[in-house]
Amino acid sequence: MLDNEWFEQYKIGVPLIDADHLNLFREVARFNEHLQSGMSAEDLGKSLNFLDKYVGAHFAREEMLMREKAYPYYTQHKTLHLQLKKVVFAVRRVFETDMEKVDKEKLHQFLRDWLIEHILKVDAKLVPYVNGAYSNDSRSVERLQFIGLSEEVTIDEELVAVTVKVPQSKQKVIERCAFALMHNTPEAQDLEEIALAATGMTIEEAMELAGAVLY
């Protein structure tokens, strides 16, 4: 059960970020309550809207903080944020097409797992950088040892050749974008988000991305 007392253990010690996390905990708790009492399509729609706004605003805040603090794992962290954003986007896309397809129980479990994993294993790594590099905050240091700071988050994918036709004047743009994507720079994540916002997602892509939370 997610409650305020339980949440205390998940505070990372950055008030702005903790306040955001608390809001997400509350939303997941509300989601659970709705599940118990029979969740309507309207409730689910509201939750998905909340999540969509939440991931946009909270992740942007965290990412700004990481840039300010020159956080060394910025790209890896941003990659994980983008993965969740895409899932939320995909679930909404499926919901808008066929609301019966979304398995609410699985979605609840997914959000709950993601929340715990991400806050404890990924967000917690920010603490020493935000509160002064590896500060004397022994609580944070203990926490980091507990979660294993050495655990790296990397993406390891095969490269594929893509042939596209663009106006000659845009050739350099495409080459630069390809470079950013190839090297997974922080801008690569921004490019992916821009592309998603510009062209949306096909229902097939959405079904695949949201597969874990569908019937």
Binding site for Fe ion (CB under 5 A): 62, 123
**DSSP string covering 66-88:** HHHTT-TTHHHHHHHHHHHHHHH
Write the DSSP symbol of residue 102: B
Residue with Cβ nearer Fe ion (23 or 207): 23
Considering the complex, state which of residue 94 and residue 124 has its C-beta at the smaller distance from Fe ion: 124
Choose between 80 and 102: whose C-beta lies nearer to Fe ion. 80
Question: What is the smallest separation between the CB atom of 84 and Fe ion, expressed in angstroms?
Answer: 9
Residue 25: which residues within 8 A CB-CB, separation 6 or more?
2, 7, 10, 115
Diameter of the chain by CA atoms? 60
Helices (H) and strands (E) in the chain, counts: 10, 0
Q: How far is the CB of 166 from Fe ion (least distance, A)?
A: 34
Give 27 or 123: the residue with its C-beta nearer to Fe ion. 123
**To the nearest whole angstrom, how small is the minimum distance from the Cβ of residue 49 to Fe ion?**
19
At CB < 8 A and 24+ separation, what contacts does 209-212 make?
209/86, 209/87, 209/89, 209/90, 210/87, 210/90, 210/91, 210/93, 210/94, 210/102, 212/106, 212/110
Q: Which residue is nearest to Fe ion (CB)?
A: 123
Q: How far is the CB of 178 from Fe ion (least distance, A)?
A: 27
Distance in Å, CB of 20 to Fe ion, minimum: 6
Burial of 123 (0-12, 13-18, 19+ CB in 10 A): buried
Q: Compute the chain's Rg from CA coordinates.
A: 19
Closer CB to Fe ion, residue 18 or residue 43? Answer: 18
The one-letter code for the residue type at 19 is A
CB of 162 to Fe ion, least distance (A): 30
Q: CB nearer to Fe ion: give 27 or 62.
A: 62
